[in-house]
Structure 1
């Protein structure tokens, strides 16, 4: 153990003396784990793994696989950091991975790849993996809840807050002391990065964000085991994360409500393969579709919150990826076709929905404006040629904790994703991951 870590471990500290990172490690490791928490962690792990395997069936996925195959020698086990990067990138491609609303972080695409890669390498058991996943979700979302809304306008929270989660999960699996874990989180946080500029051209950068966040935290934890020190005040320090990138940070949010349920159970699951900001409007538009009954639509209005406009105001789309980040296209698709699946964002659907998408106007209005990020809602109003106006509102989208998917729906989603990824033995993977909660071993996965 390093001298710095030894000093940290040996010196009693008051609550006031502790850094936020020290407090976060103590808070997380003091939480109890119930059987229901393990069951939930298994379902979220299943969702992430299914997204990873499905993500291979995509243009960026095939690029990542080709890169990995070139970097990895035949018949050798991939290095855990390399595998975490690959799995993280694949997990985030199809826009069907989980999302924690209050932090605007996708925890699964960062935490599960790091935890899975390390657990596989260390031959860890199922419970150890799931407890690491719980801890990783907790770290990344608690940091995410503290960064403030202004951070998200430029920075991608999954990329910047993700390394804290992967480092926390990896620290649990390696068995780091509290002091070593603070070192790991400090060095993970110093690697925080990820900008929204890719949206301008629809570049593949977002997948790199998830892969890097998974890899960065894992490496930081591995180095901490060798005594590699990190800054304990990486969050609140004068040259730390909040000062550098979070103009309206809320540092107290990191340690707020320590006795709350695990943040994993406060995380939403996506039913549709598009940006989560489009989902409340898709949910409302799907209900309206059956009421329109083929009548001509002359106009559509969508009320929602500002972040949805910042990321998804895109009336004209030319690629699948742009369509997934377009409220206009998503609403047009939900009003005219079922289901809103992968094909709903493809070339044929984009062509069919283009005229209606131009009739969709979007605005940030109350009550959704001030309810965000606690609630992600929208109202959709459709004006018909016969003079009728129909409207449906959603305070929360399907898949949120207030409107959760059932276990059966999550398993069905996993099977859909695994089929998309060409997985022949989906049942073995589903049963194996769900069995982790009762002590089962990690099922073998062929990612590359």
Structure 2
């Protein structure tokens, strides 16, 4: 597919939507396109459109629509005639947006798995809601790329690259995410607080010996010596990419690990013990709201302290297996600095590394290299064009060879 000046739609005008729109405006290079912004409120789209016009000289067209309302969204998309829709709204919008894309004939991208606000400890495997629509995308020759942020997203592509070029057989995949940055907030999350805190409350799920395993939160940990940031303690957390990688590399053991700092964890435990992380709605004046949703509203938005974030993040795929019959471990990773991300697009690492992969994938679909005419996860696509493109956009990556893979600790 090779549209002449295609219409690109971004749905969701939160932190990632703002960074994504800025990236499309600033990093256009030779590619031309029209940018359309869809938000739930007039103010959100107005603010972002004004920003990219003033900073980068690009005019984006603004639209207001609740992406959960499929019929209304179809009407809006028919007016726009999009080549591709990038959905960075809340995860509960994914199915409605995909149905709208099928109706209007547009390609589709998102950056996380579908999730309803009340979902908790959802049984494995995930992605059932999205995959139920795969055959419809295939029949219409439309591409849908699921979860193309960083983790999930880039790390999935890392796995594909290692499988293709570095190892003959993969035995284990550990996705490692360590944010060693500091900010001036006592307690804050790096993305949607309700989603981030809920995932830390859930049991961890991981893939081992061809079956799903589960353990209580914070019951599995390990230490890893990262490039740039040194030794960090990580906890096993249930995460999107484990569920797709288990479908596509089923013989490997697969697990996701996240750094959680001591102060963050101690505060998290207090909030959990006093009921502030509960999903059960309670009455607050005339409103019914869960304590977790209330907490998410009062915690600082990641974008509000992006200019004060300092330090480095390292995220990657630690993959062990064999090469020409000998054991080998490869760590394919990216190292990003909060200050550099702010200087480029006025944001912190998490939003930066979610937005740029989505932009890269969009351009690859429009250029035909990732236009596969069906629904896929990133590890099912050719990795090299994508890895080249994210480097061009400012997101570098590296390959190192650790001497060994650390073993998990089982906490009592």
Q: Same fold (TM over 0.5)?
A: no
- TM-score calculated relative to the size of structure 1: 0.29
Asked which structure has the greater CA Rg, the reply is 1
- TM-score calculated relative to the size of structure 2: 0.31
- Identify the structure with the greater strand proportion: 2
- Identify the structure with the greater helix proportion: 1
